[in-house]
Structure 1
Amino acid sequence: MNRLTKIMFVLGFLLTSVWSYSSNSVYAQNQKFSFEFKQTSIKTIFQYIEKHSEFIFMYRTDLLDTSKKVSVKVEKQSIEQILEQVLKGTSVVYEINDRQIVLKKGLERSEEVPQQSRQNKLIQGLVKDDKGDVIIGATIKVKGTTIGTTTNMDGLYNLSVPSENSILIVSYIGYATQEIKVGNRQNIIITLQEDAKNLEEVVVTAYGTGQKKASMVGSVQSIRPADLKVPASNLSTSFAGRLAGVIAVQRSGEPGADGANFWIRGVSTLGSASTSPLIIIDGIESTTTDLNALDPEVIDGFSILKDATATAMYGMRGANGVMIVTTKSGAALDKPIINFRMEASMSTPTSIPEFVDGVTFMELYNEAVRNQPAGKEAYTQERIDGTRQGLNPYIFPNVDWYGEMFKDRSFSETFNFNIRGGGKKVDYFSSISVGHESGMLKSRSKDFFSFDNNISRMRYSFQNNINARLGKTSKLSLRLNVMLVDKRGPNESTSSLFSSVMNTNPVDAPIMFPDDGTTSYIKWGVPTNTAVNPLATMVNGYDDTFQSTVTASLNFDQKLDFLVDGLTFKAMASLKNFSQSVQTRYSDWNKFTVNNWSLNDDGTYNMEVIQEGAEVGTELKTKSSNTGDRRIYLQAMLEYNRTFGKHDVGALLIYNQDEYMNNNPGTDLLVALPTRRQGIAARASYAYDGRYLAEVNLGYNGSENFAKGNRFGLFPSIAVGYNISEEKFFQPLRNVISRMKVRASYGLVGNGNIGGQRFAYLADVDLTGSPAFTTGINMDRTLTGPSYKRFANYDLGWEVGKKYNIGLDMTLFNNLNLTVDVFREDRTDIFQTKATIPSYLGVYGTSYYVNSAAVRNQGIDASIDFGHQFNKDFSMTFKGTFTYAHNEIRAYEESVGDRANLSRIGYSTSQQWGYVSDYLFADQAEINNHPSQLIGGTVGPGDIKYVNQPNVYGVYDDIIDKNDMVPIGNPTTPEIVYGFGPSFHYKGFDLSFFFQGMAKTSLFMSGLQPFGTMTDNKNVQTFIADDRWSPENQNIFAKYPRLTIERSANNSATSTYWERDGAFLKLKNAEIGYTFKSMRLYLRGSNLLTFSKFKLWDPEQGGGNGLKYPTQRVFNIGFQMTIK
């Protein structure tokens, strides 16, 4: 798809979206009545109006005594004026939605009808918040009267007011009350500002249904994207510390692969099962990649479902928690609301490992040769001096590989245009986003070839949501999202190139040798035929990758009040299709090295350059690949909500099914078969007088991984809540504790995902005749023939978790909100492969899945937010979260003999096992007097010394081997995540910053060995040179053991010597902005500061050697404008 085609596609999409709505209906305004009734029942009057118009009345029979007789005389009056007369003296208010008139409980009406009532002024309009979202259920009253109404599901209202001098009082829970004079306006749009003193809200819960926060008994947290202060290219990296219960870590900063790994309330299962939460975007199961691709401008809100009550309805899909994302909808407006935002970003690495220069590298190498002679030649003094003096760069190379290939900073741009509007019949929200990222690589291919393989990642996102009201009680909605990614870059990933650069020392080869006219291709420099030249790898080809993800859902809502008051039917059908095509163009490259050289009398050099390996053709070759998948989802729902006096009753019944299909399965039969799921979910809720709350949920699912008899699982939950602050005895405390609710829940969740396996209860037989059986005393006899890759197990069943939750919600002094949850989950029957099959049975390598493991996960999560309006110009808010989640294995399939220290039972799922280090050996005498270390290789002075561990009987065997490994350090998945930060508003200025931290986690350094045959002389990090053991520095507390030519198995083993504290505190975000009328300019920074004991690289990247693509410090400047 060329650039012009893409632009035309974008413009076409925008134009069709903008005009996909109809004009406002004015039926209620134009319809006039003339009639007279004397002492006639209200019911008869309603029937007359319905017969002589298209209006239909909807009300509960216990709400209004329709047998009451009234006298009414009207002459060419509107329906509003008539209803004001008919309903006088009652506590009933009305709401007109097109041709539907809904009567509901309201304020007492005056028995007296003012003389001017016949000249009442009819007004209508919309109530929305400061972000443009409509507010449902807002109250509009006429000041000094009992006249009032509420907004409908679309935020609309109609009201008859006495005169143009009337003042409207508009209020809604969680927003500041406003007073507005009517004047000569007929259509009044009202924008309410969020009130920090009262943050009640309607929260989206399972399957997109909404519940008032005051009546919720499940553990659910919601947040708006504006609160995340996140760069538009990535959402998941901002979850940590902002969402209580969410543990998130970002391990890489590579464009397109910089999303965070995140878990809801930690991990409750083991590696063979999925630990990721379920992500639902507009009712459709999605991936983290889909989530990160969403522009924050299209998102209406997030909801995190944490306990069994909140997740049980998703059955087996919700075992690890659920994240629900809803996108924005349209609204009935006089004029569309247009938003435009553009943002430019500059990124720099948060930290890059430092390496020694070429001279230091050679000196350290020579030291390693002296420490461990291995037949390798040391660098000569002539070579070292030549490099130090900067002589011939081909004979004495000193290459800054990082500087040759990487920039200090990269840039990206994002643009978003969205429009929102509509009428009473149809409304719409349409958005287009375009983003560009370039990455840190330099554009070097143009220096050698005719093509440019510099990283360029274009991202296009389209969102179009349309709602159409088909009649008085029906609604049809279409949500369409299209995401396109067009990327060009080197054949190797940026992360792989970064690692290659950092692993290549500066002195063994130049980048390339000069062209002497003997070849038509570039002579790339290498020390050996097996070595890598990072620049040659980068520039000799490119990948063109195009991805498209199309998600469409059609929703139908039908009110069934004509059958049963409060009953609604909803249905949804959705399709998600992903496709990717990769066109690869690549060429081989020829390797050369200096075989011999000599110095001439005039100071010039002669050198013999020879080819390493056979000559290869350098013509550009091509290959392509295509992948993709699709998911079809169907859902039908019956929902019931009704109030009987002080009794609120709700019920929900859902049927769903989906099918997942690989679009390019190849020849694999299992991959070609579609994956199908069916399920039923139900919920029943009850509340009495807003004080006593109860809810029951259940999910019923089937899984293809289990045989008949175990295939279906039922996962119920129950929860109760108590709004203590609604009790009369609590009223004296309301000045201090404005709101207090306690809640508790218990339920079951299920998991049927077995590490990507399908039909796991069936045997998997390999008929190819490849090596099948390994046997013999030393496992040295291999036989061929048909073999089992997996044994059958018809008893395999569901992994089941019992979830417990106790929660407290409080508001203090009307402006301090606190939520605390204590949780525990006991997950049993976790899937494992059988680990105790004796090898002498000859089935080495054959898997056998069983339900054998158990994990307990428990902790606490809390959130706090505070808001205060100091005066009309200055206000502030403060938000903070804290999450602690600790898991431990309670049962595990293992064989540890008499070595209890090797058992995983009682430890975290991400606990590391290793040796306990006693620093370094000082000399040979200490080695001779120490238990034998049989970890690998011969131990010498300066090597790591380990502690001998006893067996279960307390006996020491004076041998240190794998049986001496013990649990060391904290888990590698952080157990504590927290965040906090204020925001300030003064007139048009705003300032906010947010800190985020992690604790109770360890990282383990590894892969730092600089030299060796297998590593082609990797580079040496500066910290090794600065603090290592050496014959001249026999410090047993040095940060690195003695240098050796070959990799030392003893020194590279996982141990406390390499353990580091992975805790950190970051200034995650800071933002300053200025708003003038409908325009806002802002500056934002992310990952600005890091406070940690660990200094070598960003501790959030975790263990290893730090040679991953670094996380980025991002600076954004943005402009946003709204046109109403």
Structure 2
Amino acid sequence: MNRLTKIMFVLGFLLTSVWSYSSNSVYAQNQKFSFEFKQTSIKTIFQYIEKHSEFIFMYRTDLLDTSKKVSVKVEKQSIEQILEQVLKGTSVVYEINDRQIVLKKGLERSEEVPQQSRQNKLIQGLVKDDKGDVIIGATIKVKGTTIGTTTNMDGLYNLSVPSENSILIVSYIGYATQEIKVGNRQNIIITLQEDAKNLEEVVVTAYGTGQKKASMVGSVQSIRPADLKVPASNLSTSFAGRLAGVIAVQRSGEPGADGANFWIRGVSTLGSASTSPLIIIDGIESTTTDLNALDPEVIDGFSILKDATATAMYGMRGANGVMIVTTKSGAALDKPIINFRMEASMSTPTSIPEFVDGVTFMELYNEAVRNQPAGKEAYTQERIDGTRQGLNPYIFPNVDWYGEMFKDRSFSETFNFNIRGGGKKVDYFSSISVGHESGMLKSRSKDFFSFDNNISRMRYSFQNNINARLGKTSKLSLRLNVMLVDKRGPNESTSSLFSSVMNTNPVDAPIMFPDDGTTSYIKWGVPTNTAVNPLATMVNGYDDTFQSTVTASLNFDQKLDFLVDGLTFKAMASLKNFSQSVQTRYSDWNKFTVNNWSLNDDGTYNMEVIQEGAEVGTELKTKSSNTGDRRIYLQAMLEYNRTFGKHDVGALLIYNQDEYMNNNPGTDLLVALPTRRQGIAARASYAYDGRYLAEVNLGYNGSENFAKGNRFGLFPSIAVGYNISEEKFFQPLRNVISRMKVRASYGLVGNGNIGGQRFAYLADVDLTGSPAFTTGINMDRTLTGPSYKRFANYDLGWEVGKKYNIGLDMTLFNNLNLTVDVFREDRTDIFQTKATIPSYLGVYGTSYYVNSAAVRNQGIDASIDFGHQFNKDFSMTFKGTFTYAHNEIRAYEESVGDRANLSRIGYSTSQQWGYVSDYLFADQAEINNHPSQLIGGTVGPGDIKYVNQPNVYGVYDDIIDKNDMVPIGNPTTPEIVYGFGPSFHYKGFDLSFFFQGVAKTSLFMSGLQPFGTMTDNKNVQTFIADDRWSPENQNIFAKYPRLTIERSANNSATSTYWERDGAFLKLKNAEIGYTFKSMRLYLRGSNLLTFSKFKLWDPEQGGGNGLKYPTQRVFNIGFQMTIK
């Protein structure tokens, strides 16, 4: 069949479908009858109906006793109402297909209906949709009871109900639930209509305005907090895999710092420009910290704005996508709804690096010494044996620093109380939340001091939303959120503490020496005065950080129908004030070491302990700091929505202004000046008959970073949509494809943020700097005097992104929703510092910003949502998402000469450059015959061997240096993020689990090199001891090169040797619960399992040496009660 024949076949099918559909009219609904029969046979009544209408009865003769006499009186009634009376008392049900009336045998009551009391009423019937198709698996329940059933394969049901006053609740996924009073009917035919909520569902879009989901043409995803299944302390950690188009990774598990880094549709810019999406909470620009602090109980929903149509109205702020969060509102209720939730959790590290013991360390150190010329072993056999035998712990220390400082579990608790209610004039929603988190640091300070060094974070949150209707056309709303956080912990950062574990070996000093009564302070053990004792740094002081965030918005809505029907005026004024005070208590600590020791005849030891450095006071000192900022936002809006017959018209015009002020600017003038923005946004939309959709948006913004003439930017977008499933010719396919819509959009977005710079087009001159600048061919002439920190550039302008999007929304079989979007963004004029000015001109360190770079970001995101009700007790849903986002630098300010391999053009913004390793050198002969490796250090057998790279002309220089670096591995930001998982409901039980994974990403190990000088002698991870090159194990494929005392730049350089596959699949969440009438108990786990090729630590934490606060495996037990 050729292409033309296929097209003709499809056209013919569609034309036939259209004709068939037009003939299948609403005849049955419109045909009315008026007649009266007394004690007349059913057959006679059927014949009368056939004679006076186009109906035809079809049935088996053995199905119904048509000679049975009945009395019927009807007045302008439909065929269904007549059949209800005629078939009353029989086991026959009917189905109307256009003009055909098919009689069927109902369910056998003895098989399907449980034995009931004689007072119960037996009913039967059929459930169908508005097109006449039977519905299989529809649920029919008697309201207020546990009595219920489901329809069979023919859409039939029967049920025993308590009385004629019983009310049936009929439901099926994708259709509106109906309540039907039984009355005196025995045969009840039920027609379900498609759920109007699916069509009328309003999705929150730009500036908090709503659009009907069915008529929306932008790429927007909405989700409810309950679908995230996240521990209450953090929201952003659940985004990955659950929100299509969102790429998220969690790099830390530290309380208060365990939020995920996330991007909407990946990264489209580079350098110092912001890559984070805009977060709007109740109309107010917020931070990721604000988002993570929100209790899920107060959130009504999320909307993720992804394409230009959805984000263009935000102009310069929406270039990287927008996340809109709305909190709950009150409602006019007879009595308030009170909700209480209590949750307790236990956290354990998902994975932690392992270290060798003291004996293994010393043996490996001696091996490293022997691997170098004229090496002399540092640790004697006597010392090794003494450590192995566990003799005197001060002379032969063997300290597990990780075990001494960190514990394997921590605990947290969360409480929330909220109330929702109101009347016709005023409604309200109020919530109070209290949360406590503890860290995994051991409380060792309690052994010595009166304070606790472990992390303890208390969070108090108050949300109060009030809506007051001032009249029929006016409404005033107040949204108030107060967030208080009190965090205590060591005054040494956790990253520093974990790093100190790596930098301190187990044998060179004990934790502390015994108190001999000669001092009033602790004698902390160190090998030298410059060395660090990790435990001492952890316990000698603490930070107490108190943060308060107050966010308030006042909204006024006024309908202006008295001027123009459908016109509304809205205004908002908001304030967000953040303040932070840090009180630090700290003390110095005294360092001691063993100078000499001797063994007595009785087996005891004498040792001379001396102080390293001068004695210092150990009293607690104090210092404090205060920071904060304030944001004031004003917005005015005119919104117009009208329907004229089949035409839906909408328009929106918004003015907004914003002022940001640093509350503690110090002496920096630029910091002291408030940052102000103004903008105008507009939208116009049109829909015809719910089928043809169009929308135009624009944002007009100004930026202080650009000179006059470039200061303002206009960012328009246009989108169209087509609801194919609303066409008449599509109706025959609606049984399979319930809904189908295609979308397309194009638009511009802008970015004016230049890495925190202000007035970037102006020159910045330092009048006090000394020395001022260095110049000369050899960079050997330094001059003093004024110098430029930044050159002026009055041509600096907007970074502009062109966004393209094509989308498909589809529903199959009324229970499978599928959304697919293909997107591309071309970001041009990206800000960069000029890199091609020779340093010898004296401008080294001087910034000169230009619009020079370009990035293309493209990919696909998709989501699937399936639900099915198997019977009245059992149902399931399945959700899945997939996101692929790949970016590529198209233009870049760089100077690479004849080394094309150094160019970033054509590669990802998170692409890593390094050397290509060819495993390890086998022997000296191979080294002698290999190009010289000038990366750093003396190269020997067992060191990493690198590949020499040619220049652009294909010439090899036989020297391996920085010019031989090439792009290696996959980007460090995942390009693929996906998630999937089912949930099941059986009676009161619910069970769900969700998997989340990433792919096309690499991590690079670094900072692992042990040893060094005796004053800087690092620890050794176990994997190094297990699989390293050594004279006894000359394996060139070993996982670690030869050990050396010197820090070998050759072996620590970034290369494919240290590249690992960063892909993983996690069992992200699992939850089981049971719901009573008004109470629910549940157990939940997060980060339960990880499947990955990389085993040393959690691959989600990224590269490095794994020594950071680990991500946590969290187990929650919760209790929730609702009182209505």
Task: Provide TM-score, normalisation by structure 2.
Answer: 0.85
Change (3 A) 1:1078 1:931: same
The answer as to whether partners of 1:88 and 1:111 remain within 8 angstroms in 2 is no
Change (3 A) 1:185 1:420: farther
The answer as to whether partners of 2:935 and 2:1050 remain within 8 angstroms in 1 is yes
Give the distance between the partners of 2:571 and 2:408, measured in 1 at CA.
Answer: 52
Q: CA offsets, 1:665-691, max 9 Å, x none?
A: 000111100000000000000000000
Moved more, 35-44 or 952-961: 35-44
Q: CA offsets, 1:881-935, max 9 Å, x none?
A: 0000000000000000001111000000000111000000011100000001111
The answer as to whether partners of 2:921 and 2:1036 remain within 8 angstroms in 1 is yes
Give the distance between the partners of 1:325 and 1:831, measured in 2 at CA.
Answer: 30
The answer as to whether partners of 1:24 and 1:425 remain within 8 angstroms in 2 is no
Pairwise CA distance, 1:436? 0.4
Query: Equivalent residue for 2:1058?
Result: 1058
Q: CA offsets, 1:373-408, max 9 Å, x none?
A: 587761111111110000100000011112212111
The answer as to whether partners of 2:855 and 2:891 remain within 8 angstroms in 1 is yes
Give the distance between the partners of 1:1066 and 1:864, measured in 2 at CA.
Answer: 19
Pairwise CA distance, 1:67? 54
Pairwise CA distance, 1:271? 2.2
Change (3 A) 1:383 1:19: farther
Pairwise CA distance, 1:153? 39
Change (3 A) 1:153 1:655: farther
Give the distance between the partners of 1:98 and 1:1054, measured in 2 at CA.
Answer: 74
The answer as to whether partners of 2:93 and 2:125 remain within 8 angstroms in 1 is no
SS of alignment partner, residue 954 of structure 1? coil
Q: CA offsets, 1:564-619, max 9 Å, x none?
A: 00000000000000001111111000111111111111111111111111111111
Moved more, 1027-1036 or 780-789: 780-789
SS of alignment partner, residue 449 of structure 1? coil
Q: CA offsets, 1:339-370, max 9 Å, x none?
A: 00000000000000011000000000111111
The answer as to whether partners of 2:440 and 2:454 remain within 8 angstroms in 1 is no
Is structure 2 residue 323 aligned with structure 1 residue 323? yes
Pairwise CA distance, 1:62? 56
The answer as to whether partners of 1:692 and 1:722 remain within 8 angstroms in 2 is yes
The answer as to whether partners of 1:826 and 1:856 remain within 8 angstroms in 2 is yes
SS of alignment partner, residue 109 of structure 2? coil
Q: CA offsets, 1:253-308, max 9 Å, x none?
A: 01110000000000000022000000000000000000000000000000000000
Moved more, 620-629 or 769-778: 769-778
Q: CA offsets, 1:420-441, max 9 Å, x none?
A: 0010000000001100011101
The answer as to whether partners of 1:748 and 1:801 remain within 8 angstroms in 2 is yes
Q: CA offsets, 1:83-131, max 9 Å, x none?
A: 9999999999999999999999999999999999999999999999999
Pairwise CA distance, 1:497? 1.5
Change (3 A) 1:516 1:123: farther
Pairwise CA distance, 1:840? 1.4
Change (3 A) 1:267 1:144: closer
The answer as to whether partners of 1:855 and 1:887 remain within 8 angstroms in 2 is yes
Give the distance between the partners of 1:771 and 1:11, measured in 2 at CA.
Answer: 81
Pairwise CA distance, 1:13? 66
Moved more, 469-478 or 773-782: 773-782
Give the distance between the partners of 1:741 and 1:1014, measured in 2 at CA.
Answer: 70
Q: Percent identity over the alignment? A: 100
The answer as to whether partners of 1:307 and 1:745 remain within 8 angstroms in 2 is yes
Q: What is the RMSD of the two structures over their aligned residues, measured on CA atoms? A: 14.5
The answer as to whether partners of 1:202 and 1:211 remain within 8 angstroms in 2 is yes
Change (3 A) 1:922 1:178: same
Give the distance between the partners of 2:474 and 2:48, measured in 1 at CA.
Answer: 24
Q: Over alpha carbons, which structure has the higher Rg?
A: 2
Change (3 A) 1:142 1:535: closer
Pairwise CA distance, 1:649? 0.1
The answer as to whether partners of 2:370 and 2:377 remain within 8 angstroms in 1 is no
Give the distance between the partners of 2:515 and 2:300, measured in 1 at CA.
Answer: 60
Give the distance between the partners of 1:64 and 1:275, measured in 2 at CA.
Answer: 73
Moved more, 363-372 or 244-253: 363-372
The answer as to whether partners of 2:173 and 2:815 remain within 8 angstroms in 1 is no
Give the distance between the partners of 1:993 and 1:577, measured in 2 at CA.
Answer: 39
The answer as to whether partners of 1:824 and 1:857 remain within 8 angstroms in 2 is yes
The answer as to whether partners of 2:530 and 2:1015 remain within 8 angstroms in 1 is no
Give the distance between the partners of 1:4 and 1:397, measured in 2 at CA.
Answer: 86
Change (3 A) 1:409 1:145: closer
The answer as to whether partners of 2:127 and 2:189 remain within 8 angstroms in 1 is yes
Change (3 A) 1:147 1:460: closer
The answer as to whether partners of 2:527 and 2:1015 remain within 8 angstroms in 1 is no
Change (3 A) 1:784 1:1116: same
Pairwise CA distance, 1:826? 0.2
Moved more, 799-808 or 367-376: 367-376
Change (3 A) 1:1009 1:892: same
Pairwise CA distance, 1:136? 29
Give the distance between the partners of 2:99 and 2:700, measured in 1 at CA.
Answer: 40
Query: Equivalent residue for 1:976?
Result: 976
SS of alignment partner, residue 1015 of structure 1? coil
Change (3 A) 1:1104 1:184: farther
| Unaligned residue ranges in structure 1 (runs of 5+) | none
The answer as to whether partners of 2:545 and 2:582 remain within 8 angstroms in 1 is yes
The answer as to whether partners of 2:370 and 2:376 remain within 8 angstroms in 1 is no
Give the distance between the partners of 2:553 and 2:43, measured in 1 at CA.
Answer: 41
Give the distance between the partners of 1:890 and 1:959, measured in 2 at CA.
Answer: 30
Give the distance between the partners of 2:731 and 2:15, measured in 1 at CA.
Answer: 56
SS of alignment partner, residue 20 of structure 1? helix
Pairwise CA distance, 1:776? 2.7
Give the distance between the partners of 2:131 and 2:256, measured in 1 at CA.
Answer: 29
Pairwise CA distance, 1:1013? 3.6
Give the distance between the partners of 1:211 and 1:107, measured in 2 at CA.
Answer: 45
Pairwise CA distance, 1:1011? 1.1
Change (3 A) 1:161 1:872: closer
Give the distance between the partners of 1:782 and 1:100, measured in 2 at CA.
Answer: 100
Give the distance between the partners of 1:915 and 1:415, measured in 2 at CA.
Answer: 52
SS of alignment partner, residue 118 of structure 1? coil
The answer as to whether partners of 2:32 and 2:76 remain within 8 angstroms in 1 is yes
Give the distance between the partners of 1:670 and 1:49, measured in 2 at CA.
Answer: 88
SS of alignment partner, residue 927 of structure 1? helix
The answer as to whether partners of 1:828 and 1:854 remain within 8 angstroms in 2 is yes
Give the distance between the partners of 1:819 and 1:951, measured in 2 at CA.
Answer: 47
Pairwise CA distance, 1:224? 0.4
Q: CA offsets, 1:485-518, max 9 Å, x none?
A: 0111111123322232243211111011111122
SS of alignment partner, residue 116 of structure 1? coil
SS of alignment partner, residue 366 of structure 1? helix
SS of alignment partner, residue 843 of structure 1? coil
Change (3 A) 1:66 1:841: farther
Change (3 A) 1:9 1:422: farther
Change (3 A) 1:89 1:960: farther
The answer as to whether partners of 1:197 and 1:867 remain within 8 angstroms in 2 is no
Q: CA offsets, 1:931-983, max 9 Å, x none?
A: 01111111111000000000000011111111110010000000000000000
Pairwise CA distance, 1:56? 51
Task: Provide TM-score, normalisation by structure 1.
Answer: 0.85
The answer as to whether partners of 1:196 and 1:867 remain within 8 angstroms in 2 is no
Change (3 A) 1:853 1:154: farther
The answer as to whether partners of 1:95 and 1:152 remain within 8 angstroms in 2 is no
Q: CA offsets, 1:450-487, max 9 Å, x none?
A: 22333211001111000000011000000000110011
The answer as to whether partners of 1:825 and 1:857 remain within 8 angstroms in 2 is yes
The answer as to whether partners of 2:309 and 2:717 remain within 8 angstroms in 1 is yes
Pairwise CA distance, 1:198? 6.0
Moved more, 127-136 or 973-982: 127-136
Q: CA offsets, 1:791-812, max 9 Å, x none?
A: 0000000000000000001111
Change (3 A) 1:923 1:477: same
Moved more, 114-123 or 482-491: 114-123
Query: Equivalent residue for 1:108?
Result: 108
The answer as to whether partners of 2:284 and 2:574 remain within 8 angstroms in 1 is yes
| Unaligned residue ranges in structure 2 (runs of 5+) | none
The answer as to whether partners of 1:1012 and 1:1046 remain within 8 angstroms in 2 is yes
The answer as to whether partners of 1:109 and 1:146 remain within 8 angstroms in 2 is no
Q: CA offsets, 1:725-755, max 9 Å, x none?
A: 1111111111111111101000000000000
Moved more, 16-25 or 904-913: 16-25
The answer as to whether partners of 1:14 and 1:430 remain within 8 angstroms in 2 is no
Change (3 A) 1:317 1:780: same
